[in-house]
Amino acid sequence: MKMTVFGAGYLGATHAACMAELGHEVLGVDTNRGKLAKLEAGDVPFYEPGLPEVLRRNIDQGRLNFTDSYAEAAAWAKTHFIAVGTPQKKGEFGADLSYIDAVIDELVPLLTDDAVLFGKSTVPVGTAARLTTRVSQLARDVDVEVSWNPEFLREGYAVADTLHPDRLVLGTRPGGRAEQVAREIYASLIVDGVPLLVTDLATAELVKVSANAFLATKISFINAVAEVCEAAGADIAALSDAIGRDPRIGRQFLNAGIGFGGGCLPKDIRAFMARAGELGADQALTLLREVDGINMRRRTRMVEIVRAASGTLIGSRIAVLGAAFKPGSDDVRDSPALNVAGQLQLNGAAVTVYDPHAMDNSRRLFPTLDYSTSAMEACEGADSVLVLTEWPEFVSLDPTSVSDVARGRNIIDGRYCLNRQDWESAGWTYHA
Ligand SMILES: NC(=O)c1ccc[n+]([C@@H]2O[C@H](COP(=O)([O-])OP(=O)(O)OC[C@H]3O[C@@H](n4cnc5c(N)ncnc54)[C@H](O)[C@@H]3O)[C@@H](O)[C@H]2O)c1
């Protein structure tokens, strides 16, 4: 099937390449010429394991192209995915929907055939209904249907999650064509047993934000328990393993540490609270205010732990290993690691950061921090070494080699990912 994907970021570029991989003819559309030039040349402008191969294969086989021309996109297909950003509004909790509105406003008047729009971006409940009205005002003698097909991919596993999702969710209006079109698009996945869950528009929008709110709650829950463990002298890692054995609880997302970040969970729980408030259901989500508060408190707590370990932050030399919000990604949006690095620097420490894949993005966001070209270089002369993103190369660092270059002997594990015994045997004082 011919289709377009508007927005060629983490979500859109992955979706475009993976839809081509399923055999469709895909045109990716973005307003960022620099990004498009890279994609057209077969380069993924961000780090996502496995995506470059899928992108290049499908460009070479002629199933995947990119453009910044809405006219070309409108003429290309009757099926259009919308995968542009929905960031947090500046100074407010709500989501900024201006990028989605811009796609609708520019695309719909250009459509000369009936079409189905599939929203993939994460949006506040009620957005698809509002866009349906907007579309009907803009469409010129054609029937343009708005449906919502939220995305659950995880950065770092984006290709596998798109080609083998655990479920597909589709919000449609009764009697529309979207379900039939979606069944055609995802036919090979459905044959493989992936369930297609069809709901109304509002439910589909809420499925996505509720899923993210639940995951954020799980992380903040274990971090709240970690605060109690710290006060009581108990071991949060052993506790997580023990409660995670209960299938009703599950072990995933129970790793205590410096908390969640990235381009999704923080802004999605805030947008959820804001929307609930607009709907008069704000009390239902005061819980998420606490989830957000616990999460942000972890970052400050990490700074306190470093201060206590170092004696003072002023003049202290600190190596920060990790900048991405999680391993497997170069995404530094609302990264806990960079937030902690920035706070330490503001408190007078000399901070050197290293990340295997997120250096360019980090430099752009935090140009005042110092950056190294390797983990060992970052550790040179350091009084304290912090592991804030659990990249495998940091988990497997050899404590003795770090001893050879560091000045102090404080290892601070922000992700409970290091082998405490190994570090202690090499003469380090372990903090977490
Ligand atoms: N990143 C993820 O892991 C993930 C997972 C699931 C859902 N989502 C959701 O997907 C959406 C996109 O997230 P992302 O991480 O890909 O963001 P992103 O910032 O990486 O990408 C957004 C892209 O949209 C482009 N864009 C902006 N305005 C445009 C316009 N008018 N026309 C065409 N392109 C335009 C930007 O240039 C950019 O390339 C968000 O709603 C997010 O919450 C993201």
Q: Looking at the structure, tell me whether residues 366 and 258 fall in a common domain.
A: yes
Q: Looking at the structure, tell me whether residues 252 and 147 fall in a common domain.
A: no
Q: Looking at the structure, tell me whether residues 194 and 206 fall in a common domain.
A: no
Residue where a domain stops, chosen among 147, 179, 199:
199
Question: What's the total number of domains in the chain?
Answer: 2
Q: Looking at the structure, tell me whether residues 331 and 297 fall in a common domain.
A: yes
| Closest C-alpha to ligand 1, atom 12 | 85
Q: Looking at the structure, tell me whether residues 334 and 191 fall in a common domain.
A: no
Q: What is the DSSP string of 320-340?
A: EE--SSSTT----TT-HHHHH
Please report where in the chains the tokens 């506040």 appear, as a residue. Answer: 124
71 near 110, Cβ under 8 Å? Answer: yes
Phi, psi of 170 (to 5 degrees): -135, 120
Q: Looking at the structure, tell me whether residues 156 and 233 fall in a common domain.
A: no
Residue where a domain stops, chosen among 166, 199, 232:
199
248 CB-near residues (< 8 Å, 6+ apart): none
CA dist 95 and 85 (Å) reads 10
Ligand 1 atom with the shortest distance to the CA of 150 = 7
Residue where a domain stops, chosen among 171, 199, 227:
199
Q: Looking at the structure, tell me whether residues 235 and 331 fall in a common domain.
A: yes
Ligand 1 binding pocket includes 343 (Cβ within 6 Å): no
* Domain of residue 99, residue span: 2-199
46 near 26, Cβ under 8 Å? Answer: no
Which of 421, 349, 342, 347 has the alpha carbon at shortest distance from 384? 349
Q: Looking at the structure, tell me whether residues 18 and 87 fall in a common domain.
A: yes
Which of 421, 422, 423, 347 has the alpha carbon at shortest distance from 385? 423
Q: Looking at the structure, tell me whether residues 183 and 317 fall in a common domain.
A: no
Q: Looking at the structure, tell me whether residues 223 and 138 fall in a common domain.
A: no
Count the helices and strands in the chain (H runs, E runs).
19, 14
389 near 322, Cβ under 8 Å? Answer: yes
**Cα 315 to middle of ligand 1, angstroms:** 40
Task: Kindly calculate the radius of gyration of the chain based on its CA atoms and give it in whole angstroms.
Answer: 23
HEC per residue, 93-153: CCECCHHHHHHHHHHHHHCCCCEEEEECCCCCCCHHHHHHHHHHHHCCCCCEEEEECCCCC
Phi, psi of 153 (to 5 degrees): -65, 150
A 10 A CB-CB count for 92 gives: 11
pLDDT digit string (tens) for the chain, length 432 residues: 999 999 999 999 999 999 999 999 999 999 999 999 999 999 999 999 999 999 999 999 999 999 999 999 999 999 999 999 999 999 999 999 999 999 999 999 999 999 999 999 999 999 999 999 999 999 999 999 999 999 999 999 999 999 999 999 999 988 889 999 999 999 999 999 999 999 999 999 999 999 999 999 999 999 999 999 999 999 999 999 999 999 999 999 999 999 999 999 999 999 999 999 999 998 888 999 999 999 999 999 999 999 999 999 999 999 999 999 999 999 999 999 999 999 999 999 999 999 999 999 999 999 999 999 999 999 999 999 999 999 999 999 999 999 999 999 999 999 999 999 999 999 999 999
Cβ density class 238-248: b for 16+ within 10 Å, e for less: ebbeeebeeee
Domain CATH for 402: 3.40.50.720
Which of 202, 78, 214 has the alpha carbon at shortest distance from 150? 202
Q: Looking at the structure, tell me whether residues 215 and 193 fall in a common domain.
A: no
CA dist 313 and 408 (Å) reads 13
Say which of 18, 229, 264, 379 is annotated catalytic. Answer: 264
264 included as an active-site residue: yes
Q: Looking at the structure, tell me whether residues 195 and 265 fall in a common domain.
A: no
| Closest C-alpha to ligand 1, atom 5 | 153
